Structure 1
Amino acid sequence: MTDTKSPARGTSRPATSKLWLIGLICAALLKFSTWPNHRYALCSEEGSIYTVAPDKPTVQCLVVKGSFIESTGEIQIRVNSPLYAMTTYLPWTSRLLNPWYLKVVKLKAGSAVIPGMADAHAHILEYGFKMELQLDGAPSTQDVVARIQKYIDSRPDVHKNTSTWIQGMGWDQTRWPGAQFPTSDDLSDPLLEGRPIALRRVDGHALWVSSRVLEMMGELPTEVDGGLIIRDANGKPTGIFVDNAMTLVPIPPWSEKDMDNYFTTAMTDALAHGLTSIHDADSQPEAIAFFKKQSEAGNLPIRAYLMGNVLSDEYWGAQIPRLINHGAHGRLNVRAIKLFTDGRSPFPFLADISHSYPLGALGSWGAALLEPYSDNPSTSGLMRSSKSALGKLVNQFYEDGFQVNIHCIGDRANNAVLDIFEDIIMDSADPDNVTASWRPRIEHAQIMTMQDLERIGRIGVIASVQPTHATSDMSYAETRLGPERIKGAYAYQMLLQNSKIGVLPLGSDFPVEGINPLLGFYAAVSRLSVDGTSPHGEGGWFPNERLTRAQALKGMTLDAAYAAFAEDERGSLEVGKKADFVILDRDIMKVPADKILSTKVQATVIDGQVAYGAL
């Protein structure tokens, strides 16, 4: 019988143990290399990384470490790495051997990197709402009805329940035959009969309702302060409510589920279009609480700068919390409030309040002008509150340390607000310090006298503008304003040149305009519609007011950051700043203007992490 000996103790186990130990070490090194302080380099041999930094506007490479930009420079920053050859040819091995492994991402030819884009004036939840039933581009009332029919047919629960409110946004009567306001009778289709329907105009300043809504409202007041009920020749309401008259319409509040859905839609689309920061230009306390909850749960994927608002002429600062870099990722800020002068329209989406949704008002003759409209001499627009009442509020908010941002469309509104701001700034011992520490803003700054165009820059008030408003309004703006007054409207280059601080933050006012920030970039540099036309030809509408591409890029990055007190931490690709950037599949700073809108976002990066697409 052959004697079979058992393996000597320890003869085979050491090999297994060593393999196990090596695996453990490898796993640890791999884990360590993905910790928050991981590093990677992004490089472009074409030098198409646009930093918006004055001393180094373009670079070939930038290195990201954790959430921040560690360095920028020429291609040598990676070539000089002692591990460059190893990371190029043996990336897996080098990562195991070196936990400080530097991954190098080489940009494709023709692509570009820009700082994360910001929208300096938008409405986040309202965007999600609008996407439910979009009426943009509808060529007639019949087309609007067809879209509502499709909406009802696609939702069995809505189809069965005729008491469900149907809401949409985007109609524009100026694009219809005759350019007349619609009426409730235009919503008399059998499928629509008996349903409460409320449809907001593209600028948010008029509400078109069905006959069922008029029945629900009962007897209406003869006049509405700061608003208008359109009536026919017999004095009967037609179904159109303008500005403050919209508060009369009993639209139900949004539910928590509604807000969640709208928020998700807005965040998804924002990231897909390269937005890393949004200034929400009218946040009620309830909306602020919603964003606060999302930020604390780590569910805020972008940076949100909220402007608090309460629908009251009595001081309401105590209702707005102060939040600085709040939440799990420090992406929520609340330190500004929003006030309104002309053309104001409510958007009731929260219980027991009428939420103001103030947007461009020229299309519905709501902008407050110093002289009557050229095409409607019977009106000079609407001022929501008196100058004295507004001044009292502004002074109180200033004393309490809030940035004050005020909606102004018409020259009368802009003039009144500049008077208020100038009194505060120039009465101080150190005017320059007031403008630097307070940073008051005029939202829209759309129509100004030549004197006020000079004054806004001289006293240091920030003009926050939306370039797509110019190209959206250019078909009728001169008819509304006349040949002289139009020279001070949508004057973006003049506003920038007059600004003593050299900033002009750009936004879109979505959902009035599209959420894609490149729409604004294109409008700013071309002054053309998306089809390449304008009332002044292919050279653009009032082409002297075009921005250069460098000015436009700065306006949607660093200038927007300045307007939110964040220029030291983001807005440009500089060492020590947040690693927020966007990779585009083409170089918008070089391609022909008609190619800009074909640009696609390849990746949106926030805090050094990919939030959309891939590196």
Structure 2
Amino acid sequence: MPSSNDPASLRKRQPSEEKQLHPTSGVAASGAPDGSGQDASAASASGAFSFFHGFPYILLLSLAFSLYFILPLHSPQLLPHTYALCSPSGANIYTVDNRVPRAQCLVVHGSHFLDVGSLEEVQERWATRVATAYTNIPESSPIDVRYLQPGQIVLPGLSDSHAHILEYGAMKQIPLEDSKTAQVECVSHVKEYILADPELRDDKSKFVEGWGWDHTRWLKEEWPSYEFFEQDPDVSGRPIVLQSKDGHALWVSATVLRSMEPLPEEVPGGAILRDTSGKPLGVFLDNAQDLVKRPVPTHKALEKRFSATVKDALAHGLTSIHDAGISPISLEFFRRQADDGKLPIRIYGMTYYNENADYWGDTVVKIVGAGNGRLSARSVKIFADGALRSGGAALYEPYTDNPETRGLMRIEPEVLNTIIPKFMRDGWQVIVHAIGDRANGIVLDAFEEALKIANVTALRPRLEHAQILAEADMARFGDLGVIASIQPTHATSDMWFGEERLGPERVKGLYAFRSILDHGARITTGSDFPVEGINPLAGFHAAITRVSPDSKSPHGPGGWFPEQRMTREEALRGMTIDAAYASFTEDTLGSITAGKRADYVVLSQDIMTVPATSILSTNFIATVIDGRPAYGTI
């Protein structure tokens, strides 16, 4: 996870950098046409625009004005491509629009939805448009109609409301997640990675980084040690840093450990794990991870990670990803990709907050709709506590399996009560990671306090994870207008050790999805990849069944606390329109509605009606962004 914030690169920029796309026209407020990817204001803001640099631009403007008067208005040469996508066997397009919940056809005009309805309806309306608006198209010109294959359905583009984009790409480099032992399998995977890269193999000074180890899945559940690396001659003596699956622990080699000396005895909001003699193991939890210094990744390395993530995301129907805690380095990378027109997917960024840095909410300019609507960063992400898996979630009462601890707060309540209202006053959406019941209660207290100076609901605060909740706190989500951002596959991962860690009564408040919804809260869903898999249908399946992919749970095939299941409609909304609401884009994304961006996904079967056991066999046929396939074909 990020460990720093507030560099010069995030300081105030020219006002031209903050532009909002018009919800229906696709034209930026600055005047950049839909699809341009960049505009003159960006060049002006960079200070690079001069007469000679601008001369070609002036010629292009002159040409554009000439064409405007030479070519007739609405001529076919200037019209975006229009097509209809229809189901031959009924209303198999799920719009997630209450006005027309299901339809036979959608119509795309350029990068936006133009119409929704039956084939007869959209053809009639198209003929009327041709006759009244597009005067240079023959009235007999039919609309281009394409058809789904039998059984296929269409959904709005899917969103993952909590993920880590570049970290997922880093995880793909070394397959640590499925390792059953630290000392043998994890080290073996690291060795294979080193030997496969000539630069790493021949230069022992180069850092080796990976992601995904999970001590709770090892045959012997124990924390690893730096000594494991030193037992293999190809691995020993190298600087190695491996991130845990949940992102809350780092495992480092002896070389890295020596470079960090002297280590402090304690770290507020974190822990340095030690053996029985007090010697560090090379494992650092939560805030103690900030002690580990790693080299800044190159742009080439970031591009490699980004490409790996985008490839998998598009292949699984994702059109939008909320990046949950981007560092300044990541944000600058995404900004550069957006400026260069290289964002193939929509990103909603949560800027990581470092309490050791100066407050920046009144100096950093929010990013809204950069890169032709592909990048926004108007929220701040704060970590309240650690993770349940690593025993860092802050609880009201001690852990059942470790009565010596109640977990830890990574930030003091007094700081939360100060920082949250300040960010809200400056117009930022505040997003807080809170897993334990104590952490969730403290954060809800802070949001309630913020009501005194700001309209909390209008700023759409979010609690990320909201995993363990006291009964009294469940009702406060709806009362305060706080969005619960949940990850359903966490429930089916943690259900195997949840009761052992929390006890038989407290575990009932773990992943209580139905209770949160019944108290009037809005839920948005995600995966937290690379902590979990990237397939959004895995989250859909977990939310509605509360069983593992092989239909198992500690409570049997009926589901783990089945009374907490979500309906299919609620789960679909959580990854479409409610995810759009959670990122302030419900006017342009999240449903198949005329005027909205034409983001949609084609699936091989109807996940809303097939048996739950068949959902995970669904194939993604196509992922479409701005009306054009980003994956597959239509």
With the shorter chain as reference, the TM-score category is 0.7 to 0.9
CA distance 1:151–1:57, shift in 2 (3 Å): same
| Equivalent position of 2:173 in the other structure | 132
Residues 478-518 of structure 1: CA deviation (Å, up to 9, x unaligned): 11111111111111121122125xx2110111111111111
Instruction: Give the aligned partner of residue 220 of structure 1.
Output: 263
Distance 2:102 2:303 in 1: 40
User: How many angstroms does 1:287 deviate by?
Assistant: 2.4
Q: Summarize the alignment of residues 206-605 of structure 1 with structure 2, pairs less than 5 Å apart.
A: 206-313=249-356, 314-318=358-362, 320-327=364-371, 329-343=372-386, 361-425=387-451, 427=452, 434-499=455-520, 503-605=522-624
Q: Is the contact made by 2:126 and 2:143 (CA closer than 8 Å) also made in structure 1?
A: no
Unaligned runs of 5+ in 1: 1-27, 85-94, 344-360
Compute the TM-score of the two structures, normalised by the length of structure 1: 0.86
Deviation at 1:190, TM superposition (A): 2.0
Query: Are residues 96 and 569 of structure 1, via their aligned partners in 2, closer, same or farther at CA, if it must alter by over 3 Å?
Result: closer
Contact map agreement 2:457 2:482 (CA 8 A) in 1: no
Displacement after TM superposition at 1:446 (Å) = 0.8
Which deviates more, 135-144 or 115-124?
Answer: 135-144
Q: Which residue of 1 aligns with 2:108?
A: 64
1:233 CA drift (Å): 1.3
Q: Is the 8 A contact 2:161 2:322 kept in 1?
A: yes
1:103 corresponds to 2:175: no
Change (3 A) 1:82 1:504: closer
Judge conservation of contact 1:117–1:276 (CA < 8 Å) in 2.
yes
State how far apart, in whole Å, the 1-side matches of 2:535 and 2:79 are.
30
- How many residue pairs were aligned? 552
Instruction: Output one character per residue of 1:576-596: Cα deviation in whole Å (capped at 9) or x when no partner.
Output: 211110011111112222221
Please list the CA deviations of residues 100-159 of structure 1 after superposition, one character each: whole Å capped at 9, or x if unmatched: 651111111111100000011111111111111131121112111221122122112211
SS of residue in 2 equivalent to 1:510: coil
Distance 1:602 1:230, change over 3 A: same
- Per-residue CA shift, 1:411-449, capped at 9, x if unaligned? 111101101111222x36xx8xx2442111111111110
**Deviation of the 1:319 alpha carbon:** 5.5
Q: Residue 110 of structure 1 aligns to a residue in which SS?
A: coil
Inter-partner Cα distance in structure 1 for 2:125 and 2:510? 53
Question: What is the Cα deviation at residue 72 of structure 1?
Answer: 1.0
Distance 2:259 2:115 in 1: 63
Q: CA deviation at 1:289?
A: 2.2
Distance 2:243 2:491 in 1: 20
Check the 8 A contact 2:123/2:142 in 1, yes or no. no
Q: Which residue of 2 aligns with 1:37?
A: 80
Alignment-mate amino acid for residue 287 of structure 1:
S
Find 1:178's aligned residue among 212, 220, 224. Answer: 220
User: Distance between the aligned counterparts of 2:166 and 2:349, measured in 1?
Assistant: 12
Tell me, what secondary structure is at the counterpart of 1:104?
strand
Match of 2:194 in 1: 152
Query: CA 1:179/1:332 → structure 2, altered by over 3 Å: closer, same or farther?
Result: same
SS in 2 for 1:369: coil
For the residues of structure 1 that align with 2:318 and 2:362, how far apart are their CA atoms? 31
CA distance in 2, matches of 1:76, 1:580: 23
Indicate the structure (1 or 2) with the bigger Cα radius of gyration. 1
* Greater shift in the superposed pair: 364-373 or 214-223: 214-223
- Deviations, residues 149-171 of structure 1 (Å, cap 9, x unaligned): 22122112211111221111111
User: SS in structure 1 opposite 2:377?
Assistant: strand
Cross-structure match for 1:14: none
Paired with 1:98 and 1:363, the residues of 2 have a C-alpha distance of: 64
Query: CA offset at residue 60 of structure 1?
Result: 0.8
Q: Is the 8 A contact 2:317 2:623 kept in 1?
A: yes
2: CA distance, partners of 1:498 / 1:319? 37
For residues 602 and 97 of structure 1, the distance between their equivalents in structure 2, rounded to whole angstroms, comes to 34
- Aligned partner letter, 2:100: K
Distance 2:220 2:126 in 1: 72
Partner amino acid, structure 2, of 1:370: Y
Please tell me whether the aligned partners of residues 546 and 553 of structure 2 are also in contact (alpha carbons under 8 angstroms).
yes
Q: Structure 1: which amino acid aligns with 2:340?
A: A
Q: Distance in 1 between matches of 2:167 and 2:288?
A: 20
Mapping for residues 13-32 of structure 1, pairs under 5 Å: none
> What secondary structure sits across from 2:333 in the alignment?
helix
Equivalent of residue 117 in structure 1, options 141, 158, 161: 158
Deviations 1:502-557 (A, max 9, x none): x2110111111111111111111111112221111111111111111111001000
Q: What SS does the corresponding residue of 2:505 show, helix, strand or coil?
A: helix
Which AA in structure 2 matches 1:160? D
- Which 4+ runs in 1 deviate beyond 3 A? 31-36, 78-84, 95-101
